[in-house]
Structure 1
Amino acid sequence: MTLQRRAFLQRASLLAALGLSEAGFGLLSQRYQQALAQPMRRKLALLIGINQYPESVCDYTLRNPASKGSALNGCLTDVELQYELLLSRFAFASADIRVLTNQAATREAIETAFLEHLVEQAAPGDLVLFHFSGLGSQVQIDGATWQNSLVPIDGLLPTAERPVVQDFMQETLALLLHRLPTSQVITIIDAGYSRLGRSTEGNLRIRSRPNAPVGAIAAVELAFQASLRRPVSSFSKQPQPLPGLLLQAGTDRQLVAEAQWSGFSAGLFTYALTQQLWGDAPLLVSFTQAAALVQRSTGAKQQPVASGELPALGLAIPAAAGVIQHIEPDGRLDLWLAGLPAAVLENQTSSLFAAELTTEPEPVLIQIRSRDGLAVKARSLSPVVLRPGQPLREVLRILPRDIRLTVALDPDLERIERVDATSAFAAIPRITAVAMGEQATDLLFGKPKFPLLAGQNSQPASQPDSAPGLTVQKTVQKTVQDTPQAPPLSKGGYGLFYADYSTIPSTLNPTAEAVKTAVARLKPQLKTRLATKLLQITQNSSASLKVKAKLNLVSPETKSVLEQGTRLAMPSALKEPRSAPILPAGGQVQYALENSGDRPVYFLLIGLNANGNPVLLYPANPIIAAGAATAVPAVNGAKTGGGWLLQTATGLAETHVIFSTAPFTQTSQLLAELPQFELDQVLALPNPLAVVEAVLQDLHQASAEFAAKLPVEIPADSYALDVNAWASFSFVYQVVLKQVVLESPVG
């Protein structure tokens, strides 16, 4: 999988095919040259992923059918995601990436690899990356001291005969990081420490032990710590900030989980982060966007955090959807498309991509044939010889028109309830009910469980959420209270739930009801969720449009919250790590939109408010002229009174800002038929699915002229979207009752 070095893009025809203007080419070329102009330095990485923990290590039974014989399913995928990203996007040499997985990832092997591969090989100015995906744990040392640990494959639980904790202690990791001779360090931890008393949360797998082991740290581990500590005399007295940047999948007290997608499982955080990093956004902007994607699945239960100083990564290639991994003797191509949004990847059928070449006057078009998880089979539409490692850019996104919503049935429901639910869902067009864990799903159906976060209150009261130095936390607690594995079901009615079994707003019935009655009652919400899924497949920041959008709070205070843009209008780099946006209920926001390109664009805003209800803003003037900007809704408008009012309910909200080179003709006609429709107003949508389908059809029409020129046949039952005809950004944020610091830095 060695990355082939190549010259940068040279031919104007290729630039045009990829949607790059001369100005855009100059911007990318400048960034590329800056990366190459940096002093030559080495890039070293140690990637660790563990799925196959034995029961004597993970602290729960693997005979449960839901476990499928493995404690976790997504950690090896995490390693593969990172490996391909570092190799193909950030110019790491394959020989400089060390990988330890499953049985190879013992505590001793991890510590030895860190010393030999990172500490001993790194030099001042070198870039070092350490990634761990697996189980984390809290451990209680000698009945008094609490410490966090990462669980190696041989991290056996303490027993009466051998009351020893054999984990890779967090303090050991901190000591190792301080031994590095460089400050250019990135540490990524996709594991949790919260003891929740169970191994799953809804349809998610929890990446932490359910309970805290009690015992003494292994003597060999203490000796290893002592050997590391001697050259750093200050460590025993005063914790030091870690070098570089620390990215954690969640705080110490929170859920950290992995999820199942179509054909693969992965850590929510690692998948979101690596997908964002295939794009052009700066690292900390990518982190903030990844944190928002994680919260789309978990709400406030998992909030990725960052601390420390940002090192310079240096780029290997411009932003891409993925790379060519392998070429079969018969010419078939194996592609890796981890740069596509998850919803887009899941629904790939026959989309077109372009391979970047310097030896040909035109780009080489590649068409998808089949997909298995993140790996895609494709064929080239040209006889030109291709090579592994060549980056791929989206050209034409071909998506089916009959995308379905998949609902998982809670296994705690009685058999007759599941049978009735399956029958009732089958009667609703484009809705499919499946058993939980059977395949990737969009939401869950069942009864509410309580307490929703059983065991979370068993955390030591004096323990902070996280610390920039991965310091030891101390508190006294005589016993560890195990929490129930299965909270009881409510005796009320049914509802819809997110993947982590948190309630989707406005779907619960507090009184008892028949299953078929519940499904009929939930039909409008199901259509709303299908519309939301369709909106997610419009996400596109790789367009040649030079547009960006900024979410601003305008009341009760004025503050910039989040900015997104295409590759030719990149958002400003953040100066410090930030968590995902948190906005006060009752506040008001405004979206500042900018078109710095050479042609006008049309726009609209659509999404869900914190109540889970669909909303839309269609402007009276839906055009932004070339080089112009606008802000919606008006802050001092007579009707709006001060911007987009956030509901007083708490919850997750998401707004999609969609730009297009052509007017939203069908969408505007459909909206005009609504009796309550007003321009420049945040409108509650009674027909979100029809509106979103009209938006997709408008984008399809905007792409028709370009699609007709391509040497492929577009299936009649598909949308064919020219990626340079539109751009779409998703703004995800939490609405809370009390006002808190927006996007507050962690650490």
Structure 2
Amino acid sequence: MIHPTRRHFLKFAGSALATLGINQFLFQQQAQRYGQVLAQSTPRKLALLVGINQYTSQPLEGCLNDIELQRNLLVHRFGFNPKDVYILTDKEATREGMLGAFEEHLIKQAKPGDVVVYHYSGHGSLIRDPNPIIVEPGKEGMNGTFVPVDGNLPAGYPEVGGAVQDIMGHTLFLLMSALNTENVTVVLDSCFAGGATREARVRSREGGKNILVSADEKTYQQQWLSRLNMSPEEFVKGYRTGVAKGVVLAATAPEQLAREINVNGFLSGIFTYLLTHFLWQEDGNIERIFPKIQPEIPETFAQDPRYEVKPGTSYQKQPLYFINSPNSTAQAVVTQVSGDTAQLWLGGVDLRKVDVGAIFTAVKGTGQVRVLSREGLVAQAKIEKAVTEGTPLRLMS
């Protein structure tokens, strides 16, 4: 069966209605309704990106850069409308702010078939649940958590214990369960165990057996169980089976440390940097992209990125972010044009090769720019042949 495009439909409908002598006003109504149906059938792409550097203790440096890496990738490579990419950083990324943003921007807006991306860069921790819904062998009620900006340890820690405002992995499972679409990608660049290293900054806030889940967190979970009409038994079974929806991409194995490093003048989480770097340059699915990331992580880091898909699915074979036709692969993209200069985002190029004078050409067409200066992944360039905002570029060898 051949499905008409909107253009073909309007052409056919117009000639047929004219032949029948039907009022032009009726034709316009028909065409308008059809256009509305087409518009509604196009999947919307929604993203919530959370990055936290400004913790009261153990501040980080690369999490906001992670968010820029992900934002530029989603907008310029995967076609997200910038208005649909909601960013939550530092002082705004409280426990209440993070949960509220997930509900308002993702759960309430996403419809079946829409694409959803949630990215978290910040500290992870390991704390105790005195009344665990799920008991994992050997962990004595210890649960992995995400640390909001107000997830402060009790005064006097480690001698003094108490509850913290962390968000549990169990809560993320419930929030994902509430999404009305299966096309979900969650990217987590944090870790769930304490530790320190001289080689790179670690994204782990201290925790332990005397640091407890807050009563607010347990109440929030119970509220979602009620909203989802999910019994505790169903929750336990689902959580133990696997992720609730779509795909989860994690920076580490469960007991490892996630690190952020300086990549030629740009500080970021090594996992987010490598993930976005490869996705600029290549099309493919998780099975194709993930094996390219691990060899690029120094062996001394002992950091093994993992992915998990909803049980019973083959989402690892789906295109990344569940988008079948992303924009062209590229090493850079024009993000701004002003007169005869352009600003470039260098998301997919080896920064060691980008010196003053380096030339980038348009992937399609004749556009060309010459680099005047670079700071991290942002370059200023002179336009030698016309380019526009959004032009994908490749470095001339």
Once residues 51 and 173 of structure 1 are traced to their aligned partners in structure 2, the CA distance between those partners, rounded to angstroms, is 21
Q: Which residue of 2 aligns with 1:305?
A: 306
1:129 to 117, 123, 127: 117
Q: Which residue of 1 aligns with 2:238?
A: 239
Q: Which has the larger radius of gyration?
A: 1
SS of residue matched to 1:193: coil
Note the 1:131-280 alignment, pairs <5 A: 131-142=119-130, 144-159=140-155, 163-196=162-195, 198=196, 201-212=197-208, 214-230=210-226, 231=228, 232-233=230-231, 234-240=233-239, 241-242=242-243, 243-280=245-282
TM-score normalised to structure 1 length: 0.43
Q: Which residue of 2 aligns with 1:40?
A: 42
2:356 to 342, 349, 353: 349
Once residues 378 and 237 of structure 1 are traced to their aligned partners in structure 2, the CA distance between those partners, rounded to angstroms, is 54
For 2:201, the aligned partner's letter is R
More helix by share: 2
Once residues 317 and 262 of structure 1 are traced to their aligned partners in structure 2, the CA distance between those partners, rounded to angstroms, is 26
1:301 deviates by 0.7
Residues 151 and 298 of structure 1, relative CA distance in 2, 3 Å threshold: farther
SS of residue matched to 2:96: helix
For 1:254, the aligned partner's letter is Q
Query: Does the 8 A contact of 1:277 with 1:283 survive in 2?
Result: no
Once residues 295 and 323 of structure 2 are traced to their aligned partners in structure 1, the CA distance between those partners, rounded to angstroms, is 22
Once residues 363 and 255 of structure 2 are traced to their aligned partners in structure 1, the CA distance between those partners, rounded to angstroms, is 45
Q: Which residue of 2 aligns with 1:363?
A: 366
Residues 132 and 183 of structure 1, relative CA distance in 2, 3 Å threshold: same
Q: Alignment length, in residue pairs? A: 333
Once residues 215 and 365 of structure 1 are traced to their aligned partners in structure 2, the CA distance between those partners, rounded to angstroms, is 56
Once residues 336 and 167 of structure 1 are traced to their aligned partners in structure 2, the CA distance between those partners, rounded to angstroms, is 34
Measured on the aligned residues, the alpha-carbon RMSD in Å equals: 2.3
Q: Which residue of 1 aligns with 2:336?
A: 326
Q: Percent identity?
A: 33
2:101 to 113, 118, 123: 113
Once residues 236 and 315 of structure 1 are traced to their aligned partners in structure 2, the CA distance between those partners, rounded to angstroms, is 35
Note the 1:425-444 alignment, pairs <5 A: none
For 2:360, the aligned partner's letter is F
1:95 deviates by 1.2
Once residues 332 and 189 of structure 2 are traced to their aligned partners in structure 1, the CA distance between those partners, rounded to angstroms, is 22
Q: Which residue of 2 aligns with 1:83?
A: 71
Q: Which residue of 1 aligns with 2:391?
A: 390
Query: Does the 8 A contact of 1:366 with 1:378 survive in 2?
Result: yes
SS of residue matched to 1:238: helix
Once residues 110 and 63 of structure 2 are traced to their aligned partners in structure 1, the CA distance between those partners, rounded to angstroms, is 26
SS of residue matched to 1:229: helix
Once residues 342 and 283 of structure 1 are traced to their aligned partners in structure 2, the CA distance between those partners, rounded to angstroms, is 25
For 2:296, the aligned partner's letter is L
Report Cα offsets for 1:558-579 as digits up to 9, x if no partner: xxxxxxxxxxxxxxxxxxxxxx
Query: Does the 8 A contact of 1:141 with 1:214 survive in 2?
Result: no
Residues 96 and 367 of structure 1, relative CA distance in 2, 3 Å threshold: same
1:209 deviates by 1.9
Q: Which residue of 2 aligns with 1:506?
A: none
Report Cα offsets for 1:47-103 as digits up to 9, x if no partner: 011111002xx4xxxxxxxxxxxx111100000000000000001111111100111
TM-score normalised to structure 2 length: 0.79
1:338 to 337, 343, 347: 347
Which runs of at least 4 in structure 1 moved beyond 6 Å after TM superposition?
Answer: none
Once residues 236 and 253 of structure 2 are traced to their aligned partners in structure 1, the CA distance between those partners, rounded to angstroms, is 25
Higher RCO (CA 8 Å, separation ≥ 6 residues): 2
Query: Does the 8 A contact of 2:200 with 2:261 survive in 1?
Result: yes
Structure 2: gaps (5+ residues): 1-37, 132-139, 310-314
1:322 deviates by 1.6
Residues 52 and 193 of structure 1, relative CA distance in 2, 3 Å threshold: same
Residues 263 and 256 of structure 1, relative CA distance in 2, 3 Å threshold: same
For 1:54, the aligned partner's letter is T
Query: Does the 8 A contact of 2:145 with 2:169 survive in 1?
Result: yes
SS of residue matched to 1:86: helix
Once residues 114 and 356 of structure 2 are traced to their aligned partners in structure 1, the CA distance between those partners, rounded to angstroms, is 42
Query: Does the 8 A contact of 2:47 with 2:106 survive in 1?
Result: yes
Query: Does the 8 A contact of 1:229 with 1:235 survive in 2?
Result: no
Once residues 162 and 301 of structure 1 are traced to their aligned partners in structure 2, the CA distance between those partners, rounded to angstroms, is 30
Tell whether 2:327 aligns with 1:317: yes
SS of residue matched to 2:212: strand
1:300 deviates by 6.2
Note the 1:281-300 alignment, pairs <5 A: 281-284=283-286, 285-294=288-297, 297-299=298-300
